[in-house]
């Protein structure tokens, strides 16, 4: 199952080291889901992970964070986006997640900020869910 894992899920996992975001990464690293990445999402991960407040608040070292990101990337699928969709989200910076979900035929965008995706002008065949909603829908059977 293809999914787009928003950067805020990865950051939450790095900072908390337990909880639902960690479980989402575990599902990815065990091969139960296939995270989809494009250039913009990867750049966002790199940018946010290099912020001092993320590094200083994580119990992981910079090397361990890099190792976790490399592990995630090793099992992820890289997707080229050839057509830009503009669903006119509240946060323009989230449009790339929609484009990635469409291009990769993802079933979910997993994010902490589901409200940022409400009211989009275009409708697609994927769901925007929190980590909790994702785990309940797919793995609580």
Indicate the number of domains in the chain. 1
Strands 34-37 and 77-78: parallel
Site of tokens 């035929």: 105
Q: Please state, in angstroms and as integers, the Cα–Cα distance from residue 136 to each residue in 25, 28, 88, 126, 133, following that order.
A: 15, 15, 29, 16, 5
pTM score of the predicted model: 0.93
**What confidence tens digit (pLDDT) does each residue in 86-131 have?**
666 766 778 899 999 999 999 999 999 898 887 666 678 899 999 9
CATH number of the domain at 9, please.
3.40.50.1010
pLDDT above 90 for 83: no
Domain span including residue 18: 2-139
pLDDT, residue 125, reads: 86
């Amino acid at each position: 199952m293809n999914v787009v894992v928003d950067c805020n899920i990865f950051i939450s996992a790095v900072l908390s080291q337990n909880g639902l975001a960690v479980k989402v990464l575990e599902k990815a690293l065990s091969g139960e889901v296939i995270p989809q990445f494009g250039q913009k999402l990867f750049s966002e991960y790199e940018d946010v992970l290099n912020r001092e407040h993320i590094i200083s608040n994580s119990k992981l070292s910079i090397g361990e964070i890099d190792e976790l990101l490399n592990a995630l990337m090793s099992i992820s699928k890289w997707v080229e986006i050839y057509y830009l969709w503009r669903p006119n989200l509240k946060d323009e910076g989230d449009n790339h997640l929609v484009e990635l979900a469409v291009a990769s035929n993802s079933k979910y965008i997993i994010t902490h900020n589901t409200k940022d995706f409400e009211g989009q002008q275009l409708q697609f065949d994927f769901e925007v869910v929190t980590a909790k909603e994702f785990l309940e829908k797919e793995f609580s059977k």
